[in-house]
Amino acid sequence: MGVSASGRSGLSMRSVKSIFIVFAVFLGFAVYFYGPPVTPAFRSAAAQECNEYAGGNMRSFRLEWTSGPGSSPHWRCWDARRPEVRAISLGWWVDPFS
Per-domain residue ranges for the chain? 13-91
Q: What confidence score (pLDDT) does residue 13 get?
A: 85
Cα-based angle 60, 72, 48 (whole degrees, multiple of 5): 30
- The answer, as to whether pTM is greater than 0.85, is no
What average pLDDT does the segment 82-92 reach? 86
Q: Residue-wise over 30-39: b if at least 16 C-beta within 10 A, else e?
A: eeeeeebbee
Q: What confidence score (pLDDT) does residue 19 get?
A: 94
What average pLDDT does the segment 68-88 reach? 86
What is the rounded (10 degree) CA torsion for 90, 64, 79, 59? -120
Please write the tens of the pLDDT for every residue from 1-55: 555 555 556 778 888 899 999 999 999 999 888 888 888 888 999 999 999 888 8
